[in-house]
Structure 1
Amino acid sequence: MKKLLMFIILLLSLCAVSCSHEKEEDMGQLAAIAAKGYYDELLQGKYEEFVDATYRRDSIPAVYREQLIANAKMYIGQQNVEHQGIKEVTIANAKADTARRTAQVFLVLNYGDKSNEQIVVPMIQYQGIWKMR
């Protein structure tokens, strides 16, 4: 009887571990989808929306927000000159820390000159929405 009880406890703990890992993967995937969406907006010229996708954007002064928007425009312009633009953004990987509600999203920027670059986008879940940090 004691062996059966130990077996059941072991089985339940294995289920709990596998379920928590599955939740971590789901959280990472959700963060990755959000990050890719924000970068897709950047490619579409939606610079304000890209800047507004940052964590605590309401607490930054309007002048600084305008500078961030100008920086996003300059970044895209620079990529157009150096790499014939960013043609596509793909998700490479994502790792979530469910306890802290954070994630590291790895995106691949595929350029018009056929080169690519992997970037890391730190994300945080705030009020149920994934935002860039």
Structure 2
Amino acid sequence: MKRTILAIATLVLVFAGCDKEPTPEEKAQQAALAYYNSLLAGDYEAFLKGRVNADSLPDSYREGLLKIYQQFVVRQQEEHGGVVGIETNRALVDSTLNVMQVFINLNFADSTMEEIVVPMIESEGGWKMK
């Protein structure tokens, strides 16, 4: 009976240890991926909110950025048939700039791919684009 209880307790501890907290790199990657998915879905406001200090931007600058985001998506559609997939490759800490560099692949309908680097900063308990 003691062995059975010990075996069950061991299994519980083993499985409890499998539920680990994501690393800062993984959290930054997830945030960057979510922001870019918002951009490509046409939710330019959500993409803008993913930037550090976006809430303190002057209205005219904010409107300009939203227009630029929209133009980016339209341009990718015209030049490549649009983005059909996004995936993160890796994230690297840049201690010199005090940012997390997230590498994202944009996969286009014309079978081309572009790698972009998104600098991310930990802000307000989450990760934001610099």
Bin for the TM-score computed over the shorter chain: 0.7 to 0.9
Q: Is the 8 A contact 1:41 1:50 kept in 2?
A: yes
Q: Structure 1: which 4+ aligned runs deviate by more than 2 Å?
A: none
Indicate which of 59, 80, 86 corresponds to 1:62. Answer: 59
Identity %: 38
Report whether the alignment pairs 1:129 with 2:117.
no
Report whether the alignment pairs 1:35 with 2:32.
yes
Q: Give the letter for the 1:60 counterpart.
A: L
Larger CA deviation: 103-112 vs 51-60 = 51-60
After the TM superposition, which residues 1-133 of structure 1 pair with which residues of structure 2 at under 5 Å, given as runs?
Answer: 26-96=23-93, 102-133=99-130
Distance 2:93 2:43 in 1: 27
Q: Which has the higher helix share?
A: 1
Relative to the length of structure 1, the TM-score reads: 0.77
Quote the offset at 1:96 in angstroms.
2.7
Distance 1:102 1:125 in 2: 8
Q: CA RMSD in A?
A: 2.1
> Structure 2 stretches of 5 or more lacking a match?
1-20
Secondary structure of the structure 2 residue equivalent to 1:121 = strand
Secondary structure of the structure 2 residue equivalent to 1:41 = helix
Quote the offset at 1:95 in angstroms.
1.1
Quote the offset at 1:102 in angstroms.
2.6
Secondary structure of the structure 1 residue equivalent to 2:26 = helix
Quote the offset at 1:104 in angstroms.
0.3
> Structure 1 stretches of 5 or more lacking a match?
1-22
